[in-house]
Structure 1
Amino acid sequence: MGKRTRTAAGLAAAGIMALVGLQAQPAQAAVDVPDSGLSIFEGTFAKILLYVAEPDGACLTMPATAASLTGERIVEQVSAFTGPNCTGSQQNLGTFRTFTAGKYQSFRAYSF
């Protein structure tokens, strides 16, 4: 077998093994997201940590392991703060966002 043929065969085998490895990984369970309101998740939309049915702009504590959020239907804006009690630097996150866990300590969410 020539050097080129061995290289091509090795690359093909490596590709097949990579595909088999990808298929063998367990599928992530689907998370039921409410049709309306604000959901704050652990990880990248992995597990709901906090749900606010009708955000009214009140300052709330961000869960320490929160790393993503989604605001459905009535949610207009989510503003997160680096300090407790909505103090420190403010970042408007919108209604669908991921972020570094622990970056924000508090937030305000607004609905229509």
Structure 2
Amino acid sequence: MSAIMTAGLGALASPASAQENAGLTFYSGTFATQVGHYAAPPAGCAAVPRTADSHVGWSGFRDVTFYQTSNCTGQATGVGTLRTYPAGRYLTFRAV
């Protein structure tokens, strides 16, 4: 009986998808629809999904910096790990 209880509790404690609560996820519709996901910070400059208007850095990310250029140059805007913004405002990002 205890083996059955342990197995049942283990199933309840497991998240539906570990990816949903890890990494950096971009959304459109203000956190409504996932449009991009990074399991770990990219090594360099990366593109912000075109329709993204929000993001969450679940884990493994400390900060996200956005740029309005296609190559992570020019004005850097630190946005942290939880933010909303107009879609298309930022083209690229760096994350740590």
Alignment TM-score, normalising by the size of structure 2: 0.75
- SS state at 1:50 partner: strand
For 1:73 and 1:105, the matched residues in 2 are separated by 23
Question: Structure 1 residue 85: deviation in Å?
Answer: 1.1
User: Which residue pairs with 1:79 in the alignment?
Assistant: 65
User: Could you list the runs of 5+ residues in structure 1 that have no partner in the other structure?
Assistant: 1-31
Larger Rg: 1
Structure with more of its chain in strand, by fraction:
1
Letter in 1 for 2:90: Y
5+ residue gaps, structure 2: 1-16
Deviations 1:16-67 (A, max 9, x none): xxxxxxxxxxxxxxxx871210001112001111100011442101111110
> In structure 1, what is the Cα distance between the partners aligned to 2:81 and 2:70?
21
Residue 91 of structure 1, CA deviation: 0.6
**Take 2:68 and 2:33, find their aligned partners in 1: how far apart are those partners?**
22
Give the aligned length.
79
User: Which structure has greater helix proportion?
Assistant: 1
Moved >2 Å (runs of 4+): none
CA contact (8 A) 2:25 2:56 kept: yes
Q: For residue 92 of structure 1, report the CA deviation from its aligned partner.
A: 0.5
Q: Pairwise CA RMSD of aligned residues?
A: 1.6
Q: Identity percentage over the alignment?
A: 37
1:88 to 65, 69, 74: 74
Letter in 2 for 1:88: G
